[in-house]
Structure 1
Amino acid sequence: MPYVSARRFIAILLTALATVGVMQPARACEIPAPVQTIDPPGFYDDAAGYARDVKPMRDFIARLNGAADKADWVCALSLLNSWAKADALMGHISGYQGYYERSWAGADFAMVILRMPPEFRAEHHVTFDAINPWLERIAIATRDAEAINHLHNNLVYWAGLNLIAIGTVTNSATLIDSGLLRVREGIRDIGPDGALAREVKRGDRALHYHTFALIPLVFAAELVQQRRIDLYRENSGAIGRLANLVIDAVEDPASFAKITPIKQDLFPWTFQDELSWMEPYYARFRDARLPALIGPRRPLKEWRLGGNVTQAWGAPL
């Protein structure tokens, strides 16, 4: 794979997105045609092809998350039900990037459902009973994806969040347990200094991938609290060590030099929406360093986490 710097890649990607266009304002709960297969070229391999091929799925997710942000639960449910009926995203994947995209999408779908009021879910339980098997197929496909499992890096942790989130929605202990195996792999990987050895190997993107890896670990830890599992305590508070490493780097990017001497090249979203983990983390621990970092960035939104994370998870600063 040819090396592409983060800055150069972003320039290419933004040009590609401009070429394919942006989503036009939707009519009331307009439901996009289901994407049967998500199989784009690799994120770093072909920027234009990647942007083109993920756009239909991302447009759907933008619409779904937008409905959740407006608490338009009827629309959100209609969107999910339509794609569930079509068994969307479950077609054959010939490459590898599609497995990552489907994993992220499944996590998002579940996180949207978890935002819904319990009384709404109870009232529409018949529809949810029809959606749940589709979500479980997405989770099982993610669990069994060797394209993810062999990596033993942040993508495995994201697969763990997919499994835990969908397992929480469908009340599947088996899926949650499979997710915990993957999330705990990430927790075990965190060293005494808070670093992840595999992500350090990412060179000038190491800091970005530490931030990106932290997201699923924090949200998974939050979701399993209801099962009386405290992932924050495991490996001697490893998630906290990784959080401290990232917080230090947000406050002073030069501090990451203690992990690697390579100058870091961040994506525009690394220190913006990929700091979404700070919302539930602050709500739980009230870390005094976080209000100054969260406040100017609000609202924090992440397409993989159900939309407006500040709205769904945030606490008063």
Structure 2
Amino acid sequence: MPGRKGPIASGSTRHTSFRDRTPNPPTITDRDQPRQAQPRRSFSCIVGHHGTAPWRKSQMHHRTRLHRGGAIGFFVAASMHATYASAASNNLGSCMAVPPAVVEIKGIDFYTDSKGSVADPAAVAEFAKYKAPLEYFALQLGAISDGEVDSKQTGGESCATQWLTKWAQDGALTKPLKGGYALWLLSIVSAATSFAKVQSTNHSCDGNHVLITDWLHGLMNQVVSNENQGRPPGKENNLTHWAAYGAYVVGMLAGDKSLTDWAIGVYSRALQNVTDDGFLPSELARGQMALHYNLFSATPLMLVRLMAENNGHREVAASDERLKLFIRSSFAAMSDPSRLERAVGTPIKSDNYAALNTVRLTLALYECRFGRLSVAPKMEAPKADWRLGTVFSFKSCPSGKLFPESIKSCRVSRH
């Protein structure tokens, strides 16, 4: 709550709405859409509100460029994932100090062409540094919440809850600025995923749990509003699909049927739009990056499919054949992109897609629910991923079970 410092007493029902603290995000009508190539513009900024933190020794100042959105995580170096994942896994035994909240989020435009398909390596590296505080927080929080779920911690003030409470109190993620939409969205998704894990075992609705739920609920309502205005049906793309996954998770946490219904609507429209070749039209416009973005859309769509079915929305099964066509075509294109290249009209960028954790997760979930996907190349099991709160590194096939139906929904103020 504004001006309040320190934790809310356990058992308190006091909480605040974040509606007044969360300004409308920048419009997204031009984000992730083909555009005319323009000279790069740059400006100076301070990345969020940071003090001294483990990921750097001094205040982080970066030169940033306007970023129009996209599946940004594809370009993060594997070494950075390994570094933060290792740090997170080594700190489950105690509750570390909460990293300073990142309030403002800006973006870096690392594409140089009108289709958003050619990346500037220097800008990609700059972006990796820019988002390091958010990735650090997400991986640490995810590892902590994983540990609490594994230990079946119930009741009390969990470490993950303490972290999320502090960020909620400090207004984290409440100032998305021009160009920062994609990073803002994926950070909300990650925080919501970690909290959902906590609520699957904790089942608490004390003051802090309500505070966190209200914070996430306000942020996700802003996301949905922004998507509805900037990407109405017919223009929805990979970021809309990630927003749908986040909306479903937060809808469960807050007991908000409008969010879960919106997520299912996005899911259904996405699969209705799959071409006869098995691809998403919105991502074919990305030229040589079309496979990247079809695969990036596959992850949240697969997550929504399983979560919805597990929580009583059986109607999602009606789109299973279109989902299977989409997943099968996208994974087949990893080995033989000829069909996709014909649809796009340009060669597809060659890359090690099997090394991407989102791709590995999609395959793991698909095969748990539908059986072996024969066209998929051999790949390792999914590992920690900051966008998903590190979970889904399955010890065994979960039979499509992501979260139990018993996630505790906390009543929140409506935004």
Do they superpose with TM above 0.5?
A: yes
Q: Where does residue 289 of structure 1 map in the other structure?
A: 374
Cα drift, residue 107 of structure 1: 1.6
Name the structure with the higher helix share: 1
Q: How many Å separate the matches in 2 of 1:228 and 1:249? A: 31
Greater relative contact order (CA < 8 Å, ≥ 6 in sequence): 2
1:134 aligns with 2:204: no
Cα drift, residue 314 of structure 1: 3.8
When the two chains are superposed, the root-mean-square deviation of aligned CA atoms in Å is 3.3
Note closer, same or farther for the CA distance 1:227–1:57 as it changes in structure 2 (3 Å cut): same
Note closer, same or farther for the CA distance 1:312–1:141 as it changes in structure 2 (3 Å cut): farther
Q: How many Å separate the matches in 2 of 1:77 and 1:265? A: 42
Cα drift, residue 241 of structure 1: 0.9
Mapped contact 2:107–2:181 kept (Cα < 8 A): no
Q: How many Å separate the matches in 2 of 1:180 and 1:43? A: 32
1:258-273 aligned at under 5 Å gives the runs 258-260=342-344, 262-266=346-350, 268=352, 271-273=355-357
Q: How many Å separate the matches in 1 of 2:366 and 2:355? A: 16
Q: How many Å separate the matches in 1 of 2:87 and 2:237? A: 37
Note closer, same or farther for the CA distance 1:66–1:13 as it changes in structure 2 (3 Å cut): closer
1:185 aligns with 2:269: yes
| 2:98 aligned residue (31, 44, 49) | 31
| 2:243 aligned residue (159, 163, 171) | 159
1:51 aligns with 2:128: yes
Note closer, same or farther for the CA distance 1:142–1:238 as it changes in structure 2 (3 Å cut): same
The aligned length equals 300
CA distances 1:52-101 after superposition (whole Å, capped 9, x unpaired): 3322111111211222333377222221111111121011x3313x2222
SS at match of 2:104: coil
Q: Where does residue 318 of structure 2 map in the other structure?
A: 233
Q: How many Å separate the matches in 2 of 1:312 and 1:169? A: 25
Note closer, same or farther for the CA distance 1:313–1:209 as it changes in structure 2 (3 Å cut): farther
| 1:111 aligned residue (193, 204, 207) | 193
| 2:182 aligned residue (88, 95, 100) | 100
Q: How many Å separate the matches in 2 of 1:53 and 1:152? A: 27
Q: Where does residue 6 of structure 1 map in the other structure?
A: none
Q: How many Å separate the matches in 2 of 1:132 and 1:243? A: 33
1:65 aligns with 2:146: no
| 1:246 aligned residue (305, 330, 334) | 330
Q: Percent identity?
A: 20
1:302 aligns with 2:401: no
Specify the structure having the higher radius of gyration (Cα): 2
Q: How many Å separate the matches in 1 of 2:195 and 2:169? A: 17
Q: Is there any run of 5+ residues in structure 2 with no aligned partner, and where?
A: 1-36, 40-71, 113-122, 400-415
Q: Which moved more, 1:202-211 or 1:102-111?
A: 102-111
Mapped contact 1:115–1:312 kept (Cα < 8 A): no
Mapped contact 2:264–2:316 kept (Cα < 8 A): no
Q: How many Å separate the matches in 2 of 1:249 and 1:34? A: 40
Q: How many Å separate the matches in 1 of 2:165 and 2:351? A: 34
Note closer, same or farther for the CA distance 1:117–1:132 as it changes in structure 2 (3 Å cut): closer
CA distances 1:270-297 after superposition (whole Å, capped 9, x unpaired): 653121112222111122538x756x41
Mapped contact 2:278–2:329 kept (Cα < 8 A): yes
Cα drift, residue 182 of structure 1: 2.4
Q: Give the residue type in structure 1 aligned to 2:225.
A: D
CA distances 1:205-264 after superposition (whole Å, capped 9, x unpaired): 111111011111111111111122332422x72111101102322354455445445222
Mapped contact 1:221–1:230 kept (Cα < 8 A): no
Cα drift, residue 132 of structure 1: 0.5
Q: How many Å separate the matches in 1 of 2:136 and 2:300? A: 22
Note closer, same or farther for the CA distance 1:62–1:13 as it changes in structure 2 (3 Å cut): closer
1:208-227 aligned at under 5 Å gives the runs 208-225=292-309, 226-227=311-312
Cα drift, residue 164 of structure 1: 1.1
Q: Where does residue 82 of structure 1 map in the other structure?
A: 166
Mapped contact 1:154–1:186 kept (Cα < 8 A): no
Note closer, same or farther for the CA distance 1:313–1:154 as it changes in structure 2 (3 Å cut): farther
**TM-score for the superposition, normalised by structure 1:** 0.81
Q: How many Å separate the matches in 2 of 1:269 and 1:31? A: 34
Mapped contact 1:99–1:145 kept (Cα < 8 A): no
**TM-score for the superposition, normalised by structure 2:** 0.63
1:274 aligns with 2:332: no
Note closer, same or farther for the CA distance 1:54–1:312 as it changes in structure 2 (3 Å cut): farther
Note closer, same or farther for the CA distance 1:58–1:13 as it changes in structure 2 (3 Å cut): closer
Q: How many Å separate the matches in 2 of 1:39 and 1:308? A: 26
Q: Is there any run of 5+ residues in structure 1 with no aligned partner, and where?
A: 4-8
Q: Give the residue type in structure 1 aligned to 2:134.
A: M
SS at match of 1:77: helix
